[in-house]
């Protein structure tokens, strides 16, 4: 038995989970890990156990609970602080989710396709008109999801520098807790002002529609904050990581170019392969629960090592291989259970359009540096690339 590792651990290879996580999965079904504040938590690394845990109401998402397993210690949560959707438990969670999920149905997302296509085309035009090499992250990967979510919410895109700066700082583990707290406050205050403004002058956007349905302004500010943050970085990181991966794997790229009907499957495989946001699916037990052969006691934290679980040999054949022929939709890169990503079908549509357009319009696209010169966000709660120099 080896000593319990302290989380979070860094990925040393962008295409693989941290070696220690892999070791944990091989070691025992459920293992103990240490957290930066010195406490311990349980770690799940099998897909089936994670799916079971995330659908069990005896595990709570309420980050204000004493002992909630935080991999990036933040300032203490005030008990009076109202959690947003992601931190709610039933029955409040169901009501809050149902109030907004109608905005994110497959039908709604498909209706957004033409507009998203337009946004992507404009960014590709601008990139082609600009100097070579270009940084794909700032030219395309970040602006696209950012423009889309701002438009959907009714947030002026002119403010996007402000949001991008604050949301990036919020997710960086090396930024001191107080500073991250201040970044969050900045966004929250901005949202509150914007929503008060929309209450007076409603427009054709999600925030105005929620107000018209009688949403509480403070709660809506929390939701707007969450949507902006969650809709920003995550998809952007998948665009840059996906582009890198496809440029590095000519066979997969040829497969994508040859048959546009495989794009959705390529996107699922990329989501599975990188599992960029595994830290959010941690929970705290609110009752004693037997899971995977151990007794998890009320008050103990549970961490999901979703990246290794998304390569679990019991669920994926040859999981360490990137394979665009794989049917990968049972991955947990969007989580599982009642909190499974609200924006997943928006993210899917954005990623599908971006890859089809980018490789369709710039067939000569290639990396402008060697792969080992790339710099990864291994210090962030959401994995990604800082920049991706490309040329054509």
What is the contact surface with ligand HEM in residues (CB under 6 A)?
A: 61, 85-86, 97, 149, 226-227, 230-231, 234-235, 238, 276-277, 280-281, 333-335, 339, 341-343, 346-347
Q: Which partner in other proteins, ligand HEM, none is near 99 (CB below 5 to 8 A by kind)? A: other proteins
- The Cα-based distances of 75 to 70, 85, 161, 182, 207 in angstroms read 11, 20, 25, 10, 28
**20 vs 279: CA distance, rounded Å:** 16
Minimum Å gap between C-beta 155 and ligand HEM is 12
Q: Which partner in ligand HEM, other proteins, none is near 102 (CB below 5 to 8 A by kind)? A: other proteins
- The Cα-based distances of 83 to 78, 128, 190, 307, 357 in angstroms read 10, 43, 18, 26, 38
Q: Which partner in other proteins, ligand HEM, none is near 227 (CB below 5 to 8 A by kind)? A: ligand HEM
**How many Å separate Cα 110 from the centre of its chain?**
21
Q: Which partner in other proteins, ligand HEM, none is near 212 (CB below 5 to 8 A by kind)? A: none
Q: Which partner in ligand HEM, other proteins, none is near 106 (CB below 5 to 8 A by kind)? A: other proteins
133 conformational bin, left if phi > 0, alpha if psi -120 to 50, beta if neither: beta
Residue among 145, 154, 224, 337 that touches other proteins (CB under 8 A):
337
Q: Residue 93 is encoded by which pair of tokens?
A: 């969670």
Minimum Å gap between C-beta 131 and ligand HEM is 29
Residue among 167, 345, 357, 380 that touches other proteins (CB under 8 A):
345
Strand partners, 385: 376
Q: Which partner in other proteins, ligand HEM, none is near 94 (CB below 5 to 8 A by kind)? A: other proteins
What strands, in cross-sheet order, belong to the sheet with 134-135?
134-135, 389-391, 366-367
Residue whose beta carbon is closest to ligand HEM = 343
**178 vs 155: CA distance, rounded Å:** 26
Strands 59-60 and 283-285: antiparallel
Could you give the angle at which helices 250-258 and 344-361 cross, rounded to 10 degrees?
A: 100
Name the residue nearer to ligand HEM (CB basis): 233 or 300.
233
Q: Which partner in ligand HEM, other proteins, none is near 168 (CB below 5 to 8 A by kind)? A: none
Binding residues for other proteins restricted to 196-215, rule: CB under 8 A = none
3-state secondary structure of 294: strand
- The Cα-based distances of 15 to 262, 301, 388 in angstroms read 21, 28, 16
Instruction: Report yes or no: 221 and 187 within 8 Å, Cβ to Cβ.
Output: no
Write the interaction track for other proteins spanning residues 239-278; mark x where CB under 8 A is met and - where it is not. Answer: ----------------------------------------
Instruction: Report yes or no: 23 and 311 within 8 Å, Cβ to Cβ.
Output: no
Name the residue nearer to other proteins (CB basis): 12 or 340.
340
Instruction: Report yes or no: 302 and 283 within 8 Å, Cβ to Cβ.
Output: yes
Evaluate the omega torsion of the peptide bond into residue 8 and state whether it is cis, within 30 degrees of 0. Answer: yes
**315 vs 25: CA distance, rounded Å:** 13
Instruction: Report yes or no: 88 and 96 within 8 Å, Cβ to Cβ.
Output: yes
Minimum Å gap between C-beta 334 and ligand HEM is 5
Q: Does 314 bind other proteins (CB under 8 A)?
A: no
Strands 40-44 and 30-34: antiparallel
Q: Does 101 bind other proteins (CB under 8 A)?
A: yes
Name the residue nearer to ligand HEM (CB basis): 127 or 347.
347
Minimum Å gap between C-beta 132 and ligand HEM is 28
Q: Which partner in other proteins, ligand HEM, none is near 378 (CB below 5 to 8 A by kind)? A: none
Q: Does 313 bind other proteins (CB under 8 A)?
A: no
Options 99-107, 250-258, 284-292, 374-382: segment touching other proteins (CB under 8 A):
99-107
Residue among 94, 176, 177, 363 that touches other proteins (CB under 8 A):
94
Q: Which partner in other proteins, ligand HEM, none is near 170 (CB below 5 to 8 A by kind)? A: none
Q: Which partner in ligand HEM, other proteins, none is near 26 (CB below 5 to 8 A by kind)? A: none
**326 vs 316: CA distance, rounded Å:** 9
**108 vs 88: CA distance, rounded Å:** 25
User: Binding residues for other proteins, per CB under 8 A?
Assistant: 54-55, 94, 97-99, 101-107, 329-330, 334-342, 344-345
């Amino acid at each position: 038995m080896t000593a319990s590792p302290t989380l979070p651990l860094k990925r040393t290879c962008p295409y693989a989970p941290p070696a220690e996580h892999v070791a944990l999965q091989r070691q025992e079904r459920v293992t103990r890990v240490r957290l930066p504040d010195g406490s311990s938590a349980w770690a799940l690394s099998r897909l089936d156990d994670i799916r079971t845990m995330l659908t069990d109401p005896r595990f709570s998402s309420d980050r204000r609970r004493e002992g909630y397993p935080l991999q990036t210690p933040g300032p203490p949560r005030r008990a009076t602080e109202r959690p947003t959707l992601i931190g709610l438990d039933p029955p409040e969670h169901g009501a809050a989710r149902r109030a907004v999920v109608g905005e994110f149905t497959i039908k709604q997302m498909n209706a957004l396709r033409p507009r998203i296509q337009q946004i992507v085309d404009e960014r590709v035009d601008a990139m082609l008109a600009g100097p070579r090499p270009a940084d794909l992250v700032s030219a395309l990967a970040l602006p696209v999801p950012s423009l889309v979510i701002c438009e959907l919410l009714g947030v002026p895109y002119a403010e996007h520098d402000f949001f991008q700066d604050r949301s990036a700082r919020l997710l960086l583990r090396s930024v001191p807790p107080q500073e991250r707290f201040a970044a969050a406050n900045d966004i929250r205050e901005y949202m509150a002002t914007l929503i008060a403004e929309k209450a007076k002058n409603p427009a054709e956007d999600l925030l105005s529609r929620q107000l018209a349905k009688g949403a509480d302004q403070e709660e809506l500010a929390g939701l707007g904050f969450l949507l902006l943050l969650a809709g920003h970085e995550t998809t952007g990181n998948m665009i840059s990581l996906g582009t890198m991966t496809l440029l590095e794997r000519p066979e997969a790229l040829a497969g994508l170019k040859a048959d546009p009907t495989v794009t959705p499957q390529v996107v699922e495989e990329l989501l599975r392969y990188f599992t960029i946001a595994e830290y959010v699916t941690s929970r705290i037990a609110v009752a004693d629960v037997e899971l995977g052969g151990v007794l998890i006691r009320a008050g103990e934290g549970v961490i999901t090592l979703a990246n290794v679980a998304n390569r679990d040999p019991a669920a994926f054949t040859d999981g360490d291989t990137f394979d665009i022929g794989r049917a990968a939709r049972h991955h947990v890169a969007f989580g599982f259970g009642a909190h499974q990503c609200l924006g997943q079908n928006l993210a899917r549509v954005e990623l599908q359009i971006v890859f089809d357009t980018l490789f369709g319009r710039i067939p000569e696209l290639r990396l402008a540096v060697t792969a080992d010169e790339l710099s990864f966000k291994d210090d962030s709660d959401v994995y990604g690339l800082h920049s991706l120099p490309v040329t054509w």
